Chain A
Amino acid sequence: MKRTALVALIALVVLAGLGAQTINALFWDDAYPRALMEMIPEFEKATGYKVNIEILQPPQVFTKTSVAVTKDSTDYDLVCVDEGNIPLFASLFETYDKWPAGKKYPKLDPKTVTPAMLDVAMWDGKLVGLPINGNLYVWMTRKDLIENAQYKKDFKAKYKYDLGVPQTYQQMLEMGTFFNEKGISAGFGPFNGGPAGVFGEAIFMWSGFGTTFIDQSSGKPKVTLDEKKGAEAMEFYKKLMAISPKGAETMAHAERQAAYAADPKGIFSMFIWPAQIAGYEDPDKSLVAGKIVYSAPPAGPNGKRYAMRGTWAVNIPLASKNKAAAAEFVYWWGSRDIAMRLVEKNTVPARTDALTDPKWASKPWLAAIADSMKSAAARPRFKEVAQVQDIVKKYWIMGITGQMPCADAVKSIVKETNDVLAKAGY
């Protein structure tokens, strides 16, 4: 009798498990999706859907998507794609206008997404997913340094203007040099990690010096980098390298955070992706929690600011057999309620109304993000961009570390990029 009851119980559990519709999702690993994951049981309870999440580092998300999603088959009902890779995968995703209506959560109006982020998921004039986070360059400057009366006095005496948040590249260099020379802190925190990040730094500098690396206005990528301005920008970054902490040649995010937030000297000023701010503002992990001023990036010699964008979009593969459930999950994720709770956890969703809510006066980076969004800038996007990123990374680092003259490095970037584009048939 007992055995029969046990078998019946197991059968019920198995049937219940089979009955629940499962949404298989592929997420990138950072604080934002992790904050969301804590809330997912609420969605499961409200809808009866089960959400099965695979969370990987961004390069592995790219590889996994490449292998697991085709037009005819997919291992996932939802995949998150970094904006640079949208051109590669766009043809494999359902366009947003065809996403089913939600049963429990209303279909999101794309206008709820901050305009600066919306075109992340646009390709060939179609919205192929929904931008889901608000990630773009925000500048961090040490408040304790710029508000120190003695430093202010000494700086003004030397440079004839007030110490503060750097508004231009030149101010960033001068203020950074001031602190570095006095041994108070390192002046700048470069990013010399992965190819996509280094590509972002190069585009940031070239744009500020008034030259565009690749023009895509005709629909085809074309190298338009002015070699003279390109080399000047690289030379300038080389000067910033000279006031950076030891080991700047290989600094990726972990090393930058260690140098800025865990080293007693720290760094005066550098960019940060909003997704990482939580780590800098956690008093248990950071020596500078509550001591950072956030702002839009400084302007280049051409007088314009460029906040490089690094946003993720969530997409439904064409081959998913679970589109309604997947869409329901995105509508829940993108709802104002969830977005507000994600902001509360120091992460940055893409919804304008959640980012600009007056409730968040205690989170000064949100105002800076809003400010940065006014000057959001994208890296070039095309299918072969990974090869171009590697070329730029190789020669950019050789130039800024003095392994080869900057002018030669820029020439090599232009030549090899042209070779890649020619071979790709552009």
Chain B
Amino acid sequence: MTKGEARRRDVRHRPAAPLFFLAPALIIVFAVLIYPICFSIVVSLFDWPLSAGAGERHFVGFGNYVDLSADPEFWNSVKLQLGFIFIAIPIELLLGFAAALLLNREFFGAKIVRTLLLLPVFFLPILSGMTWRFMLQPRYGPLNALLISLGVPEMTWLGNPLMAYVAVIVQDIWRMWPFMFMLLYAALTNIPAEMLEAAEIDGAGFWRRLRSITVPMLVPTMLTGLLLRIIDALRVFSEVYVMTEGGPGNATLLFSLYTQRQAFSYQKVGMASAMAIFLLILSIVFAVTLVRKNMSLDVLEEKAGG
């Protein structure tokens, strides 16, 4: 019997038990991940009205994708979404990192301070959006009351396209920077104190230790945090919806809001599915870039000086 024949015989006689034990997990993965994605791809190839009253479904091939590529509102929403990600998340990372460094020591009430800093993360996004909408109101909003008390004229924050976009981003930073703080603080406490002490004895100052030890050791956590936040930020919806509904004009019509509008206002589920597939591809690009290029063991070891 040749080696090949022996291998084939082994495969044929391999016990089915592992497959049997894997089956529940595979079924669940198929049901909650693979099937919805496949279904979305199929729907995106149809003119698929949400309501039966809006007409019949019919196959349009890549028609929805072609229409999207020619839709200026679609590209505007992509631009706004990417702007949101590339502005908000780096600021959240910086704030979280700075706070983690500051609070990585023991002082009276340290635990309480660290706990209180985490509070915004536990806010429901919709409540956060409503609270910010209220705070930014002219006449009775606390922020404008503060401006008036300082002798500055009150502003209609959410009525100005640029200010509304900034407000949406600031709201997200306020709510989510403690998430970065939480991750980075946990990682900071895991850096061996001996390593930092040794560097200090060798004459390394604060900045040198930060550059050569702390930051490289935190890179995996930072990348994990960035990836989680990017995925989360790509789906941001409810807080922006209650703050601005995408307005004024379409100044804050982020990708998710436009997708919702296509599906539920315009009844175009096929178009919304095409947008969902585009978002999926965008997420995969982000994930692959961050995970494959920066989170492989070799790269991490290299960055950590291993």
Where the two chains meet, the residues of A that have a C-beta atom closer than 8 Å to any C-beta of B are 59, 62-63, 65-67, 69-71, 88-92, 192, 194-195, 245-250, 255, 258-259, 263, 383-384, 386-387, 390, 393-395, 397-398, 401, 403
Contact = CB atoms under 8 A, between A and B. Distances in A.
B245 A65 contact: no
A66 B139 contact: no
Given A66-B54, A70-B52, 5 more contacts: A66-B51, A70-B51, A71-B52, A91-B53, A383-B55
20 contacts: A62-B264, A65-B51, A66-B54, A66-B267, A70-B51, A88-B267, A92-B53, A245-B138, A246-B154, A247-B158, A247-B159, A249-B158, A249-B248, A250-B159, A250-B247, A259-B139, A383-B55, A386-B265, A390-B265, A403-B249
B51 A88 contact: yes
A180 to B, nearest CB: 14
Contacts of B140: 258, 263
A403 B161 contact: yes
A395 B264 CA distance: 21
B304 interface: no
B212 interface: no
B249 A394 contact: yes
B40 interface: no
B159 A401 contact: yes
B238 interface: no
B189 interface: no
B139 A263 contact: yes
Contacts of B50: 63, 66-67
B33 to A, nearest CB: 23
Nearest to A193: B245
Nearest to A398: B249
Interface string B120-151: 00000000000000000111100010000000
Interface residue tally on B, bucketed by range? 20 to 34
A395 B250 CA distance: 9
A386 B266 contact: yes
A339 B131 CA distance: 38
Contact of B248 (A63, A66, A67, A397): A397
Contacts of B250: 394
A63 B54 CA distance: 13
Contacts of B137: 247, 255
Interface in B236-290: 244-245, 247-250, 261, 264-267
Contacts of B115: none
Contacts of B144: 246
B69 interface: no
A255 B144 CA distance: 15
A249 B264 contact: no
Nearest to B133: A250
Nearest to B160: A249
Given A247-B137, A259-B139, A390-B261, A89 B156 contact: no
B160 to A, nearest CB: 8
Contacts of B160: 249
A89 B265 contact: no
Contact of A90 (B53, B55, B138): B53
A195 B245 CA distance: 10
Top 10 A-B residue pairs of the complex, sorted by shortest distance between their CB atoms: A249-B159, A246-B138, A247-B138, A66-B51, A70-B52, A386-B265, A66-B50, A89-B53, A63-B264, A88-B53
A383 B158 CA distance: 31
A413 to B, nearest CB: 12
A250 B52 contact: no
A384 B268 CA distance: 10
Contacts of A383: 53-55, 267
Contacts of B51: 65-67, 69-70, 88-89, 92
Given A258-B140, A386-B267, A88 B54 contact: yes
B277 to A, nearest CB: 21
A388 to B, nearest CB: 10
A403 B249 CA distance: 9
Contacts of A90: 53
Interface in B43-77: 50-55
A245 to B, nearest CB: 6
A275 to B, nearest CB: 21
Nearest to A409: B249
Nearest to A246: B138
A249 B50 CA distance: 32
Contacts of B139: 245-247, 258-259, 263
B245 A194 contact: yes
A231 B137 CA distance: 29
A266 B219 CA distance: 56
Nearest to B243: A250
A247 B144 CA distance: 11
Nearest to A423: B67
B264 A66 contact: yes
Contacts of B159: 247-250, 401
A288 to B, nearest CB: 16
Contacts of A249: 156, 158-160, 248
A59 B248 CA distance: 19
A408 to B, nearest CB: 13
B248 A401 contact: yes
A246 B156 contact: yes
B249 A69 contact: no
A394 B251 CA distance: 9
A380 B265 CA distance: 16
A382 to B, nearest CB: 11
Given A394-B249, A403-B249, A250 B266 contact: no
A246 B248 CA distance: 15
Contacts of B154: 246
Contacts of A195: 265
Contacts of B138: 245-247
Q: Determine which residue in B137, B139, B245 has the highest number of CB atoms from chain A within 10 A of its CB, and name it.
A: B139
A57 to B, nearest CB: 11
Interface string B87-114: 0000000000000000000000000000
Nearest to A387: B266
A270 to B, nearest CB: 16
B239 to A, nearest CB: 16
A69 B156 contact: no
A387 B261 CA distance: 9
A195 B246 CA distance: 11
A397 B53 contact: no
A247 B52 contact: no
A246 B249 CA distance: 18
A33 B63 CA distance: 42
B249 A397 contact: yes
